[in-house]
Amino acid sequence: EILVLDEPTANLDLQAIHILKNMLIQLKAAGITIIIAEHRLSYLFGIVDRVLYMAEGKIEKEYTGTEFFRLSDPERIRMGLRRLQERENSHRSPAYHTKQRAIKIDHVSLRYGKKRILNNLSFTAFKGDIIGIVGKNGVGKSTFCRSVCGLHPLSTGSIQIEGGYTSEKERRNLSYIVMQDVNHQLFTESVLDEILLSMKAEDKRRAREILKEMDLLSFEDCHPMGLSGGQKQRVAVASAIASERPLILFDEPTSGLDLFHMRQVASVVNQVADAGRTALVVTHDPEFILRCCNYVLHLENGQIQESYSIENSDGRNRLLKFFLNDMEKEVRY
């Protein structure tokens, strides 16, 4: 009679969110009571009857659904909430610009088991690029990133990092990946030790600076597995930054993050680019892409469907059109 959903959209593409929305409408019509803890809010428009806003362990305020979605942008941002509708548009371009090649993907095809999932991919990324990789769930985005950093074998083609390093071992040494499920890469007894582990040479002062940037300094002595999902996510991102590898890959880095911490992660990713390193970001979060990426790869049907810069209004409009089209497709049962 009661369903409790904790961040149900954390790793969903927008079409899957639309499917979830229709399911919730049907469940509500059937008399089921639904309680949702959520940061991605726009899909709840027209569904929720009441909204409880929590802060520091207590219910700070209660709204009707109509009142909540009438909040102004300054009010919403002050409360630390993600956007309330998908058409908002803001962008910050990376400051580092160069034509020095960082990665070359040359006619790469990938299999997962016996199934070929990506076919004949080619593109080049330069130092200072932050490339957002978008596409539907299951298209092969995560497998592609694992292949780039040497964790999944290529079927055909080659990948070069830093001007010629092509073996899986060399790519592993030059890259760092923040996985979609960060529980697979948290190993130590404390958050501080987790950051120190990823450093070439241990530097506690620098490690604490990174933890402070990620709003994690107060947790430095905590066991990583005792943190919330969003906090674990930020520990993994902090470890990636501390590694100082020339290529960093992020697989859904904003999963479970509120507005404040999403912006923190975006700021840290921007610092990667500003230092002349390169980042590949798999995400279903257009708000995050517009906050830090300068280029987008759209994967569909096993290929690069399109690629474009979003440092101009035309590219940003193409990105938003992709997400809005995906969100607004009619779904039938």
Give dist(CA 161, CA 155) in Å, integer.
18
Identify the top-confidence range among 155-169, 214-228, 243-257. 214-228
pLDDT attached to residue 316 = 85
pLDDT band at 165 (very low <50, low <70, confident <90, very high): confident
**Whole-prediction pTM:** 0.78
| pLDDT (average), residues 246-275 | 88
Q: What is the pLDDT of residues 267-296, one digit of tens each?
A: 888 888 888 899 999 998 888 998 899 999
Q: What is the pLDDT of residues 39-77, one digit of tens each?
A: 888 889 889 999 999 998 999 999 999 999 999 888 988
* More confident call, 320 vs 46: 46
% of the chain surpassing 90 pLDDT? 60
pLDDT band at 114 (very low <50, low <70, confident <90, very high): confident
Looking at every residue in the chain, the average pLDDT score rounds to 88
Burial-class residue 247 by CB neighbours within 10 Å (0-12, 13-18, 19+). Answer: buried
* CA 36 to chain centroid: 21
* CA 11 to chain centroid: 9
Nearest to 194 by CA among 224, 219, 173: 224
Q: Is the pLDDT of residue 330 over 90?
A: no
Q: Is the pLDDT of residue 298 over 90?
A: yes
Q: Is the pLDDT of residue 327 over 50?
A: no
Strand ranges in the chain using DSSP code E only, listed in sequence order = 2-6, 33-37, 50-55, 58-64, 101-112, 115-126, 130-134, 156-161, 175-178, 247-251, 278-282, 295-300, 303-309
Q: Which residue has the tokens 């979605």?
A: 69
Give dist(CA 253, CA 214) in Å, integer.
13
pLDDT attached to residue 332 = 36
pLDDT attached to residue 98 = 59
Nearest to 320 by CA among 132, 78, 79, 80: 132
pLDDT attached to residue 329 = 45
Q: Is the pLDDT of residue 108 over 60?
A: yes
Sort residue 215 into left (φ over 0), alpha (ψ -120 to 50) or beta: left
pLDDT attached to residue 311 = 86
Q: Is the pLDDT of residue 81 over 70?
A: yes
* More confident call, 280 vs 17: 280
